[in-house]
Each structure stands twice: as structure tokens, then as C-alpha cells.
Amino acid sequence: MSQINKILFFFILPILGILFYDPATLVKAPILIAIVVAFFAIIGVLLMRGYATVLTFAIFLNGMNVIVRLLMLVSNAFTDKGVFQPGFAIFTFAGLAISFFLMLRLDKVDIRKTMLRQ
């Protein structure tokens, strides 16, 4: 696996999958964004060092993100008055798709082979 793919799968996509929300929502939580980026940067460093248990944890986190976003999409895509919120639905579905792809991709053999430590 190339270095660019490792950076993409271990650093960029996990952060995007978690933080892919409407920009107006993200502007209100800069400290939370910094905490999430730092947390996933630490996970990415541990994945680059080859910890297989951290890989399992990363797959679990992406799976939980898929479940939470699916529940949020179903319950919040429409307002109480029945008005569709396209911005919310698009951002939620895009984050769900990124996390779902990453969850499936991290469990492939080529990534598991890069895990040297247990």
C-alpha cells in the first residue's frame, strides 16, 4: 500500500467522515472540531505504526458513525411541519457514504497486511 493511500485512509477520510456536516453548523463548534481532528490524528499515527487493535477500533468508529448518521437522516431530514431539509440530508448522506466506504475498505486484506503489531 502506498504512502498516499495510507494518509488518505488513516487520516483524511476518517476526519471527513466524522466532520462532514453543514458548514454553518461546524462554525459554531471550533473546539469540538479541534478535539476530533486531534483524536483521529492520534488514531492515524497508531495505524501508521501498525497496531491491529487500533484498526479494529477505527472500523468500529466508522460503523457507529454510519448507524448514527442513518438515524439522524431518518429523524431530521424533515422538519416538524414536513418541510424537507436538502442541505442537512445531503451532508448527512455524504458523511454516511464516506464512513461506510472507509469501514469496508479498512477491513480489506491489503490494509490488514500493513498491520505489523498486535
pLDDT in tens, 11-58: 999 999 999 998 888 999 999 999 999 999 999 999 999 999 999 999
Q: Does the pLDDT value for residue 6 go beyond 60?
A: yes
CB of 63 closer than 8 Å to CB of 103: yes
Q: What is the mean pLDDT of the chain?
A: 93
Q: Does the pLDDT value for residue 118 go beyond 80?
A: no
How many residues in total does the chain contain?
118
Stated pTM of the model: 0.90
Distance CA 32, CA 7 (A): 22
C-alpha closest to that of 102 among 49, 47, 50: 47
pLDDT at 94 (0 to 100): 96
Three-class DSSP category at 117: strand
99: left (phi over 0), alpha (psi -120 to 50) or beta: alpha
